[in-house]
Amino acid sequence: MKIGLLINEGPYQHQATDTAYLFAKAALAKGHEIDRIFFYHDGVNNSSSLTEPPQDDRNIVERWSKMAEEHNVDLVVCVAAALRRGIKDENLAAGFRISGLGQLIEAGIQADRLVTFGD
């Protein structure tokens, strides 16, 4: 099954990001495809290379980057939401790219399921 994800919450303010990551990890382990994860609203904060959690905490941004590299997942950050939050190309973490809402629409069309995490 092809699955697309929409993440609307930031990495440390809400449980949605952790849940989305664990869902994606489990889906990939079961052989499902995740072609694209779209980060929208506060979810764009998952893409910032400026995030530095304490050493004893999970590094959510690094988790997404690693998943993108290992499974060829397209991590797309909404341009309008990113710019509102000061996120630009030069401070994106590895594996992320900035694009428009058309990428979300395309993910919804191409996937068998589009799963949303957060409000």
Residues with a known catalytic role: 78
Beta strands at 74-78 and 33-39: parallel, antiparallel or unpaired? parallel
DSSP string covering 15-73? THHHHHHHHHHHHHHTT-EEEEEEE-GGGGGGGBTT----TTS--HHHHHHHHHHHHT-
Q: Are 75 and 41 in contact (CB under 8 A)?
A: no
